[in-house]
Every structure is written in structure tokens, then in C-alpha cells.
Structure 1
Amino acid sequence: MLHSFLPQPPTDAAVSGSDVRVSAIHHKPLTTSQVYQLSTFRGVACEFSSWIWDKIMPLRYRVFLWLAFWGRLNTRDNMIRKHWSLLTEHQDCDICPASESASHIVLRCFPASVIWATFHMNDLASSSTDIVHFMHRAQQAWINSRGVHILFAAAAVTLWHARNDRIFNNKRWPPSYLRREVHDEVSQARQKASTMKHRRQEQESARREKLRQAFLKKRLDKLMAEKQASSASDDQPNS
């Protein structure tokens, strides 16, 4: 993969001092996105990146989801793996007789069962091996698969906040509060999607109007040129 981004033979611009890197595949200047993708994923697409970096995904969710999908959240199983014995002495969930991992918190813990049962997805969540497996199955099960990642993000963030409030503040969120938090988060995401759709429609309308004005101007210039040519020919004396 790296050979496709090697610098091309020196040109006049390169000799003069500027260093322009050009892809050997596309023969176009490299973009920041291409360099980032190469350095981060080594040219291999990440299967859940489209779920996280969607434009309608709230910014405050993205880093959290990235850590969650990679299993890098500071859950008790990770803290034990890192030998953070001063913070926790065990890796067990404080509610369920299971190891506290990101997949357990989001899919199988009691608060998670409350949320997923609301959407008739509790069996799907509890039988999935991890959150990536759950997302793949949810996209196949739901008719409106386009919005599954937004629902998952709202549920995951809510469950993580509930877990932290329970551990650090000894506060347990009732089921009604969990459902309301997820509903509010999903509503905000829908509002953002609606705003973005309206903005795209306005931009498309403005682009079409600009093209229409350019066409009319070009047509008008052509007619005026034809009229001027016709007047010039009429002014010429007959032989």
C-alpha cells in the first residue's frame, strides 16, 4: 500500500523547492483524509467506522463509541487487566454475576435489558457475543437499519452514564428514567438529521438556481451577439 503514495519523479515545481506528494494510483495530490486513513488503519477499512463518524452522530458520542467498539473503556475487566488494583479489586459487575465489560454493560446488564426490551431487541442483545456482533445483527433485523447506530449510540451512552452514576455517586437510575434519557438522545439526533436534510435541500436549491441563472445569462449573451451580428450585416451597403 505504501508504494502507491511514493513521491513522483521530480518536476519543475519540485526542483524549485515545493514538495508535492501524488498518489501513484489516482495521480492526484494526497488529501489529509487519505494520509490519516493510511496511518491509522494501514489501508484497511474499519468495519464500524461508518457507524461512528456519521455526520448525524453527535460529536460527544464519537470518541466514546470508538473506545467502546475497540473495548478500551475503563471497565473493571480492563482495569484488572491493567493492574489498577488501587481502583478496583475485582472485575465483577456490581449488579450481575458477570465480568464487567463494555459488551456486558451495553448488552446484558439489567439496565441494558430494560432499554433493549423497550425496542423488542433484548433477546438479540443478550445472545450477541459483543457489541460489533450485535450491530451487524441489528442492521439485518431492523427495517430502518439506517438509524440503528443512532439508537445504539443513545443507549450505550445512557447506560455508561447510569453505570458511572451508580458506581461513583451510589445512584440507581429507575427504568423510566433510562427510557426517557434514550428517547431524548434519539430525538436530538433526529432533529440534527432533519436540520442537515433541510440544509442540503437549501444548498441544492441554491445550486440549481445558480445553474439556471448561468444558463439564462449565457442564452441572453448569445441572443445579443446574434442581434449585433444581424444589425452589423444590415448596416453593410449592398454590392
Structure 2
Amino acid sequence: MKCLWKLQKEPDSTWASTVNLLYGSRDIPTLLADGRTSAAFRDILHYNDFFSSSICNPGLPQQLTWKWSTTGEYSSASSYRILADPGMRSPYHILLWKIKAPPKVRIFLWLILLDRILTQQNLARRNWPSITSCQCCSEGCMETSVHLFVHCTFAKQIWTQLQIRFNLPLLAFTTDLPAFWLQNRQTIGPSWDIIWATSSWAIWKERNSRLFASNRLTASRLVVEICATIEVWKKMA
């Protein structure tokens, strides 16, 4: 938000001058259409809709005002208050942070639900070096979040074995991660939360182990570790 504000309100700032030098424009619609913009800059421009709805007098730098502060000047605090408003939170916000799991795991779960973890697909989107194919199966599929945690044959082996071990009803293998968690939660109940959390965390660690250390566990061995972890996490305060 601050970068977009400076781009419009402070045309002589170092940031605005640099953007103008690189792309020949400070006009946001023009920059959005420019294929030369970097991935990081496109991420900033992605918030233009919220920015546009938060300002008055666009196109008039001297008269530009920010709706969410009494002074009319942009502040990070006012932006945060609006973005963190309970009315703008996701429907699973409260459920997620109550799962019995270490804080780092709950943050990880939040990231996978938002599709922000660095799968091969997300690395490719950022133009970072990537292998693209999933390392947990031999099907040559693009490693997306939903593939890795839901549809990968390795992941399905784990979910199937857990289904048998905990006597769960048939799982719904949905096309997105939030639905995979919440739809199965509806049929299984809150006990699904910790199973889903520990299994997703274990799959991610196994994926990294295969990718960076060339170590591999079988699905059965990983399920044993998942069950042990569930018992430990259940005892967390």
C-alpha cells in the first residue's frame, strides 16, 4: 500500500522516480499491462483494487487523500486496521488457530490454504529455478499445493491408510485445499483437524527431504510417524 501511495502521491520520491525510469510510467493501469514488470512488482500491483477503493482524487497527486485516516495521509496502521477487520477474515480463520499444533505448523497451514508455500508451481511463477514435477510421485505432474497434499498418489496412500487406521468415512478429495479440510471436517468432526494438520506437515517435510536430502520414507512409515505426532500434539496445552 505504501509503495502504491508513494507512486501516486510522491512523484519525486526515489521509489516513484525509479519505477518511472525502469518502465517509463508511473500510471498503475499502464504498469499492470506492461509485461516487463518483475514478479515482485506485480505482487505490489496486485493490491491496486484495494488501493483504488481507498483513495480520493486519483490522478491528482496534490489532492490525493487516504480514506482510512483522519488526516487523509496514508499510514500503515490504518491500512492494517482495515485489512485485519474481522469482516474480511476467511471463514476458517478461527478454526485454524485453535488446532492443537505448534505455532509454526499453524502458520504453515495458513500458508498452504492461501497457496503461498514454495511449491514448484509457485517457484516457477516467481521465475525461480524449479524442477516443476512432483518429487513424491512418478507421474510427472506439476507440483501444485493441491496436487502435493491431496491428489498425489503418495498423499492418497497416506490419507487412505489414515482413513483405515482411524475408521474414518470416505474422504472427499476436493479440487482445493480449504475444501479438503472443511468438507471432510463436516463429515468427520473436529477430530479431523489434528489428523489433517499433522499429515500435511509430514507430507511437506517428506517432500523437502526427498528434494534436498534424497531421503525417502514409505507411506506406511510416514503414517506411523504421523500417528505418533498426533498423540504428542493432543497433549499440548
Q: Which residue does the alignment assign to 1:47?
A: 91
State the secondary structure of the residue aligned to 2:235. Answer: helix
Return the alpha-carbon distance in structure 2 between the equivalents of residues 122 and 82 of structure 1: 39
Q: Contact between 2:169 and 2:187, CA under 8 Å: does it hold in 1?
A: no
* TM-score, with length taken from structure 1: 0.59
State the secondary structure of the residue aligned to 1:172. Answer: coil
Is the radius of gyration larger for structure 1 or structure 2? 1
RMSD: 3.2
State the secondary structure of the residue aligned to 1:129. Answer: coil
Paired amino acid for 2:134:
C
What does 1:71-220 align with in structure 2 at a 5 Å threshold? 71-84=115-128, 87-88=129-130, 90-94=131-135, 95=137, 96-120=139-163, 124-125=171-172, 127-142=173-188, 145-192=189-236, 196=237
Deviation at 1:46, TM superposition (A): 1.1
Higher relative contact order (CA 8 A, sep 6+): 2
Deviation at 1:189, TM superposition (A): 1.9
Cα deviations by residue, 1:117-139 (Å, 9 ceiling, x for unpaired): 023379635x3111111112101
Bigger mean CA offset, 71-80 vs 92-101: 92-101
| Structure 1 unpaired stretches of 5+ | 8-34, 197-239
Bigger mean CA offset, 49-58 vs 36-45: 36-45
Q: Contact between 2:195 and 2:230, CA under 8 Å: does it hold in 1?
A: yes
Q: Contact between 1:111 and 1:178, CA under 8 Å: does it hold in 2?
A: no
Deviation at 1:36, TM superposition (A): 6.3
Return the alpha-carbon distance in structure 2 between the equivalents of residues 66 and 98 of structure 1: 24
State the secondary structure of the residue aligned to 2:178. Answer: helix
Return the alpha-carbon distance in structure 2 between the equivalents of residues 46 and 70 of structure 1: 10
Q: Which residue does the alignment assign to 2:63?
A: none
Give the total of aligned pairs: 162
| Structure 2 unpaired stretches of 5+ | 1-53, 55-67, 71-78
Note closer, same or farther for the CA distance 1:140–1:55 as it changes in structure 2 (3 Å cut).
Answer: closer
Return the alpha-carbon distance in structure 1 between the equivalents of residues 100 and 233 of structure 2: 6
Task: Give identity over the alignment, percent.
Answer: 24
